Amino acid sequence: MELPSRLIEAAVDQMASLPGVGRRTALRLVLNLLNRSDEQVDAFAESFQSMKRGIHACPQCHNLTEAEVCSICADSARNESLICVVEDIRDLLALESTRQYHGKYHVLGGVISPMDGIGPNDLNIETLVRRIASDGKTNKETPTEVIFALPATMEGETTAFYLFRKLANSEVKVTVIARGLAIGEDLQHADEATLVQSLRQRLPYTT
């Protein structure tokens, strides 16, 4: 489709670079923005710029935060002895929305997927291993249980197995959420009741 201006063309290109946004949808969104006031469009653009500059990964769990550490790591009321390992921030948010889990998290930032060229070094695994290592910590700070809440896919299983071996030298108990989740189903797409049940009925991890 020939667009009447290269400025519109450039905006459509940017919009269409987002996942799940085709060029027709991109054009519709761009034309909608064009109809707004200058102030509205400035506020729109600034919200993204501020988000980009103001947000970083929590150095402990890799959740997103504007503070030094994220609100979950900073919350002393949460159970330090439990770490729930998830693939993605969206899985953390799904579990949080159940309000039934009061431990901490570790966000891997993906799962091992040789097909997509994602290996263990591309994921936040070393920081997890360091969190489990007990040297120099008091008992209160040392996690005693790591819960794998990874997707029920080949990649999720591969990642769980890799992590399990990495943690084998520690004394931490490794569990896995129960599979109320359908094979291949993402955590973030599961309903809350299923998530809560999966967490409650977690089992010792076995290879």
Residues that bind Zn ion (CB under 5 A): 58, 60-61, 63, 70, 73
> Minimum distance from CB of 135 to Zn ion (Å)?
20
146 CB contacts (<8 Å, ≥6 apart)? 83, 84, 85, 106, 128, 132, 163, 167, 172, 173, 174, 175
In the bound complex, what is the minimum distance in angstroms from residue 68's beta carbon to Zn ion?
A: 10
DSSP states of 60-125: TT--EESSSS-HHHH-TTSEEEEEEEESSHHHHHHHHHTT---EEEEE-SS--BGGGTB-GGGSTT
What letter does residue 189 receive in the DSSP assignment? G
Instruction: Rank residues 60 and 175 by Cβ distance to Zn ion and give the closer one.
Output: 60
**Of the two residues 58 and 108, which places its CB atom closer to Zn ion in the complex?**
58
Question: Residue 185: helix, strand or coil by DSSP?
Answer: coil
CB of 93 to Zn ion, least distance (A): 13
- Minimum CB separation from Zn ion for residue 2, in Å? 49
Give 124 or 158: the residue with its C-beta nearer to Zn ion.
Answer: 124
Question: Closer CB to Zn ion, residue 61 or residue 86?
Answer: 61
